[in-house]
Structure 1
Amino acid sequence: MQVEVDRSSLQEVRALLAKFSDGATRAHARSLNKTITKSRTESSKEIRKQVRLNAAYVKSLMTITKASQKKLQAKISTPSRGLLLSRFSTDTSIAGDKTSWLKPPSIPKRGIRVKVKPTGGAKVFEGDSEIKGKPFYMVLPGTNGRVAIVGRRSKIGSDGGRIKVFYGPSLSQVFTDVKEDIAEPLALYQLQQFEKEIDAILRGF
């Protein structure tokens, strides 16, 4: 048995293989981008099970870098610095972004109350051993009226300041804690999306 392949047929095969190779890379990039978007949504849900933050705020801190055909990598970046403890105030006007404070609010008679976790009760924040007296509110310079919970240091700090700003957990820290919980289902989701993209490319041939 003899099989002959003429030059034009060979060129068609090469063109088809080149098109498929390019399509596979494109499918990979698209599946990564769909997965990273879903990852942000699922991560936000898990993060909000750990810390008492609203969905819009968590989403605003999770920056997506999308994949391309030249760089098949997608990632989520989160700030490593701790969140202001005032974000966890039980006073929604202090915790949220709707109020732009010109001067700090007065201290409630019962003290400054915070609630970091979504479950359990609120606690009166008493400060720590580095400060003298009770913590109080201060409008942070260079912000759009953002209030922080601060205290006066008993000794000058390493940066030379007398005021200590209190922070809670960082979003990066919480994200690290929860991302392993969603890694397996997201890996399966990416595989499913890749298969769908490949099917779409094959139907286009």
Structure 2
Amino acid sequence: MSYSINTKDISNATGLLRGAVRAVEKAQMRAINRTASKTRTAASKAIRKDVRLKASYVNENLKVSRKASINNPEAVITGRKRPTRLARYGAKQMSRVAKQASGDTSRGIASGRKQAGVSVAVKKGGSRKKMRKAFLIPLKGSNVMGVFVRTGRGKKDIKHLYGPSVDQVFRAVRTDLKPQIRRNLVTEYERQLANALRQELKR
């Protein structure tokens, strides 16, 4: 009894091997990118559970800055590093009675009252912090407010106050996301590999 192996058999085996390699590479890339997208969504929710920031602001400043590719199977999620205006953290103008005061509608101060500091709440669910020497003023060239304190007697002797950046909060919450990331990556890889192998078999 004899059995012969010809070049066609070798070619078929080589083709299957190459197809399997392509499937693994595609599955890896797609799984990483899908997991990065899910992680970014989960991180946004975690950040907003930790601090008092709006979803629109966090989502605008937390991005998948680099997607995985076949040659570089790594995705990167980046948060805005520049500090966040303290005014974004639920800043509210406080006021007190002052009979001769004209008020200030831009800051929500009624006539007969004057400014008496600003209250903010950085942590979600935490108590508000009253800053008696702080005040709200509109930022130059915009309609948004900033929280300032005076640093001297001159007109320009003021300091704009900031709270934690999106990146700072992201770094604080991302450790808690690691188990979820691992689960998502394993699940996505298995699903993507099965799909990629089916596509290769149809070639």
Q: Amino acid of the residue matched to residue 78 of structure 1?
A: G
Cα 1:109–1:153, aligned 2, differ >3 Å: closer, same or farther?
closer
In the other structure, the counterpart of 2:119 is 113
Alpha-carbon contact 1:104-1:137 (below 8 Å) kept: no
In the TM superposition, what are the counterparts of 1:52-201 in structure 2 within 5 Å? 52-64=52-64, 65-91=66-92, 105=107, 109-126=115-132, 134-141=133-140, 144-154=142-152, 162-201=157-196
Give the CA deviation at 1:3. Answer: 4.4
Structure-1 separation of matches of 2:178 and 2:29: 18
Identity %: 30
Q: Is the 8 A contact 2:117 2:135 kept in 1?
A: no
- The match for 1:129 is none
Question: Taking structure 1 as reference, are residues 177 and 63 closer, same or farther at Cα in structure 2, changes over 3 Å only?
Answer: same
Q: CA RMSD in A?
A: 2.5
- Take 2:3 and 2:190, find their aligned partners in 1: how far apart are those partners? 34
Contact 1:44-1:59 at 8 Å conserved across structures: yes
Whether contact under 8 Å (1:89, 1:115) holds in the other structure is: yes
- The answer to whether residue 42 in structure 2 is matched with residue 42 in structure 1 is yes
Structure 2, unpaired ranges of 5+: 94-104
Q: Work out whether 1:203 is the aligned partner of 2:198.
A: yes
Distance 1:33 1:155 in 2: 54
Q: Which runs of 4+ in 1 moved over 3 A?
A: 106-110
Instruction: Please give the TM-score of this superposition, normalised by the length of structure 2.
Output: 0.80
Task: From the superposition, tell whether residues 146 and 90 of structure 1 become closer, same or farther in structure 2 (CA, over 3 Å).
Answer: closer
**Counterpart secondary structure, 1:8:** helix
Q: Which runs of 5+ in 1 are unaligned?
A: 93-102, 127-133
Distance 1:154 1:191 in 2: 58
Quote how far apart the aligned CAs of 1:104 are: 5.7
